[in-house]
Structure 1
Amino acid sequence: MLALLILGAAGTGAWVYRQLDGNIHAADVDGKIGGDRPENLSPGSKNILVVGSDSRDGDNAAYGKGLTTMQSDTLMVMHLAADRKWATVVSLPRDSWVRIPACDRGDGNTSDPHRFKINESFAIGGTGGDVAGAAACTIKTVEQSTGLRIDHFASVDFQGFKGMVNALEGIEVCPEAPIDDPKAHLDLEAGCQTVQGEDALGYVRTRYSVGDGSDLGRIGRQQEFMEALAAKARKTLTSPADLYGFLDSATRSITTDRALAGVKPLASLASEVQDIPSDRLTFVTVPNYAREADVPTDKANVVWQYPQAGDLFRSLAADREIDGKALKKAAANPLYARSVQVRVLNGTGVSGRAAQVAEELRALGFTVVGTGNAPRQAERTAVLHPPGMENHARVLTSRLHGAKADQDARSADQALTLIVGQDYDGVT
């Protein structure tokens, strides 16, 4: 976006625009997402879903053989404030355990709703090889998991990433220890050095050979690398000649929704955010912890940490600026779902509802201590908590659409009481 802005200011010839416009791929996602989408609560703000795609077609085949589905390696939501004075980029770990809604597979079949890693949504929607379908299922999953309305979508593949870095003659990285990762095609010495080509791609993809081998460590490196790339682009891309190689690589490997598919709309978007200062461009990762804390048998995934994750998404939906340091501090001591004891009471009048909800909560790791019927039918779902258990109640209500929490001074134990009302529509 920065490069396109500079290109427009430089008065480049029309043939360049035509060339770059022809590079960009458009995906018609609007007709595939379906209804029941979140409202845009802050008109003027924009949420852009960015996917780093490691689909192994064509030149990307060298990065993994035997994969038969489209893959997503990186997932971010970029929120642009309505006044365009700040922006926040939220990384969603690819191992996030979320609910994936029913999606059109693109092969004549529809998937069943289920819980799995968030990046599976791209593979499900792209079963038929269509990026639009992959994007639509990913958008549905992110919207239902976060409550954010996604306005635009962009996907960039491996080759385009390398080309952009090479056009800048590399980016400096400073690994504290040597990195030898055959899976990422990377062999680096410790210390500061400039990487490009395969080494640059390997640096942002490496996972198992660095630190604790988690996706979270990789996200941190990706965020640092993108900040460095943006800073170098701002400093060095000052003429059309400098820009062309960068832009040619970027546009050849980018797929966007139809509204963004072109140099003009991308440059227009760039012009809206050109004055955002670097200290108000915030990179954060959605607060999370290892799912093993709630489900001891799961050693491979993470769950989003509530209520902090819910607070983050509600702030963005309301267009409130995120303080990255404060978010990190608030998430320092997670309250695991397993630590929250819940008694489920059926207030719907529908037989078996309490048992159904109890199973849904157990699947999220909550400790269900009993089920039963509420004294009377309830129109709205509510949570009653004993004195001093406000934080436990917030963890639970963050997973329930529209549920409110109230103190129950008569409660003598440490369990929350969930009254399932007629408005109950499942857990997030």
Structure 2
Amino acid sequence: MAGTHRSRRAKSAPPSRGRRILLWTAVGLAVLVLAATGALGWIYYQLNGNIQAAEIEDRLGDDRPEDLSPDAMTMLVAGSDTREGTDGSYGDTEGMRSDTMMIVHIAANREWATVVSIPRDSWVSIPACDLGDGTESEPHHGKVNESFAIGGMSGDVGGAAACTIRTLEQNTGLRIDNFVSLDFLGFKEMVDALGGVDVCLDEPIQDDKAHVDLPAGCQTLDGEDALGFVRVRYSVGDGSDIGRIERQQEFMRSLAEKAQSKLTDPTALYGFLDAVTSSLTTDPELAGLRPLYDLAEDLQRVPEENLSFITVPNYPRELDVPEDTANVVWEYPRASLLFDSLARDERLTEEELEAAAEELPSLRPSDVQVQVLNGTGVTGQAGEVADRLASAGFTVVGTGNAAAGEVAHTVVGYPEGLAEQAELLAARVPGATTEADDSGPPGALVLTVGTDYTGVQGG
């Protein structure tokens, strides 16, 4: 495959170890920081002071998922792709973007952890977000990484993180209380402080958009080329965001291994740690070397075989909306199985997810017709839900009011032969149950929206 990247040490480093190093790096390399600076108090306080804290609690709103496992830890890890300070070298995009987005869940018993990669092209429902000037954005649908840009319009990483968390909470049902963000320019400085990072390419990579021109073979990338390498997308492999996620993970492994090799080089190590900490912004709970160290210790205690990396199950949105060839949608009910298990703090490996998927119907939203009935007592609710379902790819055949008036629980009614379609729809509407019901239009489900309705995942 064109442009395949191999770490020079990849053959001797098991994948599980490489993945652990990736997560360790993404969270801040806290163990390495303390190991290197513990004997030098002034360095410790210098690096500790580099880490920026951003308050997000008052920006997350009241309509949040219930925290079903308070002792577990679920956090957002994002790469802030701001162009500020680049003089247009990487394009003219204003404000902030996030090229890398992950949800990290550490179990309450600290015996397992799961990292969920979120493709940035995921088409999701983006709620109203605080714009930092006393106003809010309009709720709409878009790519998930747009939420980072909306919240960060004022240049505030905390606002970007808060809007992203609101978006992920609405679309996953997970409660997310912490975040770590690593900025765009800091990545270059980390690589340069280490004297570059080694990669091996099976074939050359040339991409004007990412400003990268690399020959085939093994080579050492400086910060500028490394940044282009992890950003490149369309000219490598299948051009997908999924492929880029895999390359970024491999490169982060190589970066962390290079950092480990510099433990006896005080100058290089300090430059690297200064770049890492200067590039970090976190919520107040994690803002410091000590809390990051505690977090890294929790991760270190997780057995290798209990650390899972999963990309949200997805498929091209054009299968549901033919004119959209640029985005992906999350595949339900597999996605809801993943998110529901994490919300309950129950481990689900990628293998178990795939096995469970084999027992689930191989249906897409476009295969499902649904009538929406309003049982909430809120005027216009059926129309709003219908719009969300249509955006998610379902075929809405009508709306109306529930004959029983206001009802407490959201129910998907299905005629004989459509039980699988009902399960698919229920998976997209948190809390919905299914029951046999042949009162709807021929061949269609009936979604009666109750007062417990909280939204449509991915719609």
The two structures have a TM-score, normalised by structure 1, of: 0.90
Check 1:76–1:193 CA distance in 2 against 1; reply closer, same or farther (3 A cut): same
- 2:430 corresponds to: 401
**SS at 2:100 equivalent:** strand
Moved more, 392-401 or 112-121: 392-401
Q: CA deviation at 1:275?
A: 2.6
Residues of 2 paired with 1:147 and 1:373: CA distance? 27
2:159 is equivalent to residue 133 of structure 1: yes
Residues of 2 paired with 1:323 and 1:197: CA distance? 35
Residues of 1 paired with 2:49 and 2:312: CA distance? 36
Check 1:391–1:168 CA distance in 2 against 1; reply closer, same or farther (3 A cut): farther
After TM superposition, the structure 1 = structure 2 runs for residues 11-22 of structure 1, keeping only pairs within 5 Å, are 11-22=38-49
- 1:359 corresponds to: 387
Q: CA deviation at 1:174?
A: 4.3
Check 1:389–1:165 CA distance in 2 against 1; reply closer, same or farther (3 A cut): farther
| AA matched with 1:24 | I
Q: CA deviation at 1:329?
A: 6.0
**SS at 2:189 equivalent:** helix
Q: CA deviation at 1:306?
A: 0.8
Check 1:355–1:110 CA distance in 2 against 1; reply closer, same or farther (3 A cut): closer
1:313-369: CA deviation from partner (whole Å, max 9, x where unpaired)? 111111222312343566689632111121333444666654443333222210123
**SS at 1:135 equivalent:** helix
Check 1:230–1:86 CA distance in 2 against 1; reply closer, same or farther (3 A cut): farther
Identity of counterpart residues, as a percentage? 56
2:368 is equivalent to residue 340 of structure 1: yes
Check 1:356–1:230 CA distance in 2 against 1; reply closer, same or farther (3 A cut): same
2:97 is equivalent to residue 68 of structure 1: no
Moved more, 161-170 or 104-113: 161-170
- 2:57 corresponds to: 30
2:174 is equivalent to residue 164 of structure 1: no
Check 1:9–1:424 CA distance in 2 against 1; reply closer, same or farther (3 A cut): closer
1:85-126: CA deviation from partner (whole Å, max 9, x where unpaired)? 222111111111111111121234221111111111111112
- 1:368 corresponds to: 396
| AA matched with 2:81 | D
Residues of 2 paired with 1:326 and 1:190: CA distance? 38
Residues of 1 paired with 2:430 and 2:263: CA distance? 49
2:75 is equivalent to residue 48 of structure 1: yes
CA contact (8 A) 1:335 1:392 kept: yes
Residues of 1 paired with 2:421 and 2:196: CA distance? 48
The two structures have a TM-score, normalised by structure 2, of: 0.84
Q: Which of 125, 137, 145 is the aligned partner of 1:99?
A: 125
Residues of 2 paired with 1:327 and 1:25: CA distance? 37
- 1:415 corresponds to: 444
Task: List runs of 5+ in structure 2 lacking aligned partners.
Answer: 1-23
Moved more, 204-213 or 401-410: 401-410
2:314 is equivalent to residue 288 of structure 1: yes
Residues of 2 paired with 1:279 and 1:388: CA distance? 41
CA contact (8 A) 1:342 1:366 kept: yes
After TM superposition, the structure 1 = structure 2 runs for residues 100-119 of structure 1, keeping only pairs within 5 Å, are 100-119=126-145
| AA matched with 2:66 | E
**SS at 1:104 equivalent:** coil
Residues of 1 paired with 2:398 and 2:265: CA distance? 68
2:174 is equivalent to residue 148 of structure 1: yes
CA contact (8 A) 2:194 2:269 kept: no
Q: CA deviation at 1:299?
A: 1.6
Residues of 2 paired with 1:334 and 1:52: CA distance? 34
1:171-201: CA deviation from partner (whole Å, max 9, x where unpaired)? 4444443211122121223345443422222
Check 1:267–1:207 CA distance in 2 against 1; reply closer, same or farther (3 A cut): same
Residues of 2 paired with 1:73 and 1:402: CA distance? 32
CA contact (8 A) 2:97 2:148 kept: yes
Q: Which of 221, 225, 228 is the aligned partner of 1:202?
A: 228
Task: List runs of 5+ in structure 1 lacking aligned partners.
Answer: none
CA contact (8 A) 1:211 1:217 kept: yes
- 1:392 corresponds to: 421
Q: CA deviation at 1:291?
A: 1.3
Q: CA deviation at 1:297?
A: 1.5
CA contact (8 A) 1:287 1:331 kept: no
| AA matched with 1:183 | K
After TM superposition, the structure 1 = structure 2 runs for residues 308-327 of structure 1, keeping only pairs within 5 Å, are 308-327=334-353
Give the number of equivalent residue pairs. Answer: 426
1:56-101: CA deviation from partner (whole Å, max 9, x where unpaired)? 112x445434332222221111111222222211111111111111
Q: CA deviation at 1:216?
A: 1.8
Q: Which of 249, 256, 263 is the aligned partner of 1:223?
A: 249
CA contact (8 A) 1:383 1:393 kept: yes
Check 1:54–1:291 CA distance in 2 against 1; reply closer, same or farther (3 A cut): same
- 1:261 corresponds to: 287
CA contact (8 A) 1:223 1:283 kept: no
